[in-house]
A and B are shown apart, each in its own frame.
Chain A
Amino acid sequence: MEAAENRRETGGGASLPTGPGDGKQKRLGDSPSMGGFLRRAKVFLRRMLRSKSAVIGGTLILIVVLAALLAPRLAPYNPYEMQMGNRLSPPSAEHLLGTDQYGRDLLSRIIYGSIVSLQVGVIAVGFAAALGVLLGLLAGYYGGWADRLIMGLVDVFLAFPVILLAIALVAALGPSPRNVMLALGLIYWTTYARTVRSSVLAIKEEEYILAARTTGAGDMRIIFLHILPNALAPIIVMATLGLGTAIISESTLSFLGLGVQAPEASWGNTMAFGLKFLRDAPHLSIFPGLAIMLTVLGFNLLGNGIRDVTDPKLNGRF
């Protein structure tokens, strides 16, 4: 069954329901109550620091987050100030990464771009995770027609390339940062729903849940206080990896002319527009592309690191 599990985790289109087969494995945070949180956090952190992947990834993300927080201090120029006489100039001492098609400083725009890219990523993933977790909990806990309806919807969503759906959604709503986030959220919720559902199926028959139920705890209380915290680890892993995916998807939408719009400085639109000057000003598409690559790499490494730490079964996976 090992490989079959892998297959589902890769977000595939298998329509077989995930069974409770992996319910017995040891997970961090398997203890029935919220107590001992601090102690577990300390263990978690210590293990994280031992994971090369998590450390490198975390460092990369830390740099990006700092760049976003300190953008006004770090950026050498105003990212919106145009100098038409100095368009598309290559990297120089004055402009470390060169200038864009309006003579704006590229380094400053990339630094400010980290705000937009992180924002798009975090909100899109937050929205996707919230929606997916909620529907996954409902489907797993209640089963029956709610389960069939939600999982049916998941199957429909998984049955075609989601980027097409994102294109259509953004076209329908109009290209703007808000709508890009909304569209990405609406297409990426399915993996969360699927995973949460299978965790719930595994957990809900555990003794401590049964015990809570006999003491008269309501459904909502059981779902959010007992089940959710214990299904959290895979959600965090997926969300971390999802941040990278969202940033890439935003740049892809930008490439098709549907991403975050000018004059806002997102990496995606800077790079997508830079492609129009590929021959004469390759720096305009190379540097924002590098920023995207390193950030996504950071999220991927961090996500894999967290997975290694929280899911001993998958140890050794890079």
Chain B
Amino acid sequence: MNAKRFAGYALAGLLAFSMAGCGEKPSPSSPAQSGSYKDTLNIGLDVEPETLDPRLARDISATRVFEQVCDSLVEVNEQLEPIPCLAESWENPDELTWIFKLRQGVKFHDGSDFDAEDVKHTFDTIRDPEFGAVYAANYASISEVVVEDPYTVKFILSEPYAPLLVYNMTLPIVPAEADDMEGFSEHPIGTGPYVFKEWSRNSKLTMEANPDYWGEKAKTQNLVFHIVPENATRVAALEAGDVDLVHTPLTPQDIQRLQQDPRFVVDTMSGLGIHQAAFNHNVELLKDKRVRMALAHLIDKETMAQELCQGIERPGVSVLLPTSWAWSDSVTGFPYDPEKAKALFKEAGWEDSDGDGILDKDGNKLTVTIYTYTQDDLKMQMAEYMQNTFTSAGVDAQVKIGEWPSFIDDVSKGNYEIAVFGMMNMIDPDKYLFTYLRSTSPSNWGGYSSAEFDSLVEQARKISDQSERAKLYQKAAQINNDEVMHDVMVYQGYVAIHSAKMEGFTPHPAGYWRSLRNATVQD
């Protein structure tokens, strides 16, 4: 998918856009086709949601449920651009004001009407420290939500925030009465095409079609999400016909095998995440830019993408995603080049002077620890493979594998040398660059620091012109690479596999399942 194609799109062009059913295209498989359809869609999910209150949820499994049960003001299309949903249109009279016109005649599943009060309540509670929402900080730029009239709502910002639409306005809207409802966090109520029915812990989530949906109604009556944590088991369930659809995370081997199998359709596309090797710039050894660069050149991104990921994912270049409007071919990265690495090490004073196969300097061996976590197979394999190429280039590399909470605790305290981890859901480049790499950000764990980089990313979040922003991000990404802040190893792919009998499902690079409402499975 060529993302550059969309780079020129302006937000303004979309404002007049209004479509039924949250901008979904009508399904190519209308029930007019011959043959009978199953009354239930069975879907395999890897992780159980923790809570089903959209304001408290922090896992993508919960998001997959909200996509069926709830609607948000704005939705993000496959090109990562905002399109109308519960908001029919919006305007941005000045950089601190956003006004949304709401869709009329929409009802929540309990029969109550959707209006501006619901929007205000949703955004007020998520920003309320007492409410304890995990992502409250993401909404920090909103200073006030004002109800202008029942179908007009105004957001006043404290600072300009360009990613507002794609990051904040996609929050699922809950009824204003949500917090008086018993057990809302297990039984969410929204305005979506499916009504939430039942949550059997550790087992499944059941939904059924909403007969009063304001947009195009769901094509299959029942929808069941089965929780199957093991990737291999989940795929086995698909092959056994127990579920009709599974998606990322999947094992590359499973993907490759099912690509050969006519019973299944495998959709692969570039996703919204990266796997990276983050260098801790506070570690003595890694303070030397030449050492960082040499190590980056020792990471064989091509083999990782081709072999470990079986070609599902692409070798990484920079923090800009190939899918994004911000992508540019002109930004250069660190291709695998042991010779260049050797030269860089030599320049930095690291040579194998005692002939033991390990580089040394002033009597010290070149030792580095690669740290990753046990919950992610692919990252463990990447770390082990990195260790292998490092070792063959004379670097005494160790692999340390912790489990996620310990890992992230260490990393956020700066207790690491090279950390292998991912960044997900990078719909807007702001997310990663501003939050994790800006020198003053509390989440800048590796001590990266570049004044020029800081000013670029700060500027880029203040303007709304997409092509201007793209230029700023491209500059920032190049600085990021010139300083070897970290090394982006692989761009995560997104893969969805479904039974060939399933029709109407359109995959989305962000892994969204909004199109399930159009899906049918032949009996």
Contacts and interface: CB of A to CB of B under 8 A. Distances in A.
Contacts of A258: 374, 403
A80 B257 CA distance: 27
Contacts of A257: 374-375, 401, 403
A282 to B, nearest CB: 11
Interface of A: 80, 82, 84-85, 87-88, 101-102, 171, 174-175, 257-258, 261-263, 273, 275-281
B385 interface: yes
Contacts of B388: 80, 82, 102, 263
B173 to A, nearest CB: 38
Identify the interface centre among A85, A174, A275, A276: most chain B CB within 10 Å of its CB: A276
A175 B236 contact: no
Contact of A276 (B251, B384, B402): B251
A175 B401 contact: yes
Nearest to B373: A257
Nearest to A176: B400
B30 interface: no
A279 B374 contact: no
Interface residues of B, number: 29
B231 A276 contact: yes
A101 B257 CA distance: 16
Nearest to B304: A84
Give the secondary structure class of B's interface. Answer: helix
A157 B117 CA distance: 56
A275 B399 contact: no
Contact of A279 (B254, B307, B403, B406): B254
A279 B401 contact: no
12 contacts: A80-B388, A84-B385, A171-B406, A174-B402, A174-B406, A175-B374, A257-B401, A273-B380, A275-B232, A279-B236, A280-B257, A281-B253
A61 B406 CA distance: 38
B95 to A, nearest CB: 47
B126 to A, nearest CB: 32
B384 A263 contact: yes
For the complex of A and B, 3 pairs with smallest distance between CB atoms? A257-B374, A280-B253, A84-B307
A167 to B, nearest CB: 10
Given A88-B253, A102-B385, A257-B374, A279 B232 contact: yes
A262 to B, nearest CB: 5
Given A263-B388, A278-B232, 7 more contacts: A88-B253, A102-B384, A171-B403, A171-B406, A174-B402, A276-B251, A276-B377
Contact of A261 (B232, B256, B399, B406): B399
Interface in B266-318: 303, 307-308
Nearest to A87: B307
A273 B377 contact: yes
Contacts of B402: 174-175
A64 to B, nearest CB: 26
Contact of B380 (A82, A262, A279, A281): A262
Contacts of B235: 279
B492 interface: no
Nearest to A101: B381
Contacts of B403: 171, 175, 257-258
Contacts of A102: 381, 384-385, 388
B232 A276 contact: yes
Nearest to A257: B374
B387 interface: yes
B251 A261 contact: no
B386 to A, nearest CB: 11
Nearest to A88: B253
A84 B402 CA distance: 25
A273 B378 CA distance: 11
Nearest to B303: A84
B371 to A, nearest CB: 11
A246 to B, nearest CB: 21
Given A175-B374, A257-B374, A277 B253 contact: yes
Nearest to B310: A87
A262 B384 contact: yes
B206 to A, nearest CB: 29
A261 B400 CA distance: 8
A175 B407 CA distance: 11
A249 to B, nearest CB: 17
A273 B251 CA distance: 12
Nearest to A261: B401
Interface in B365-422: 374-375, 377, 380-381, 383-385, 387-388, 399-403, 406
Contacts of A277: 232, 251, 253
Contacts of A101: 308, 381
A149 B253 CA distance: 54
Contacts of A280: 253-254, 256-257
B84 to A, nearest CB: 42
A275 B231 CA distance: 10
A280 B257 CA distance: 8
A123 B466 CA distance: 62
B74 to A, nearest CB: 38
A76 B399 CA distance: 25
Contacts of A279: 232, 235-236, 253-254, 257
B264 to A, nearest CB: 13
Given A87-B307, A273-B377, A279-B253, A263 B232 contact: no
A85 B303 CA distance: 9
A262 B307 contact: no
Interface string B211-240: 000000000000000000011100110000
A270 B303 CA distance: 22
Interface in B300-340: 303, 307-308
Nearest to A174: B402
Contacts of A261: 399-401
A164 to B, nearest CB: 15
A26 to B, nearest CB: 51
Contacts of B256: 280
A262 B251 CA distance: 19
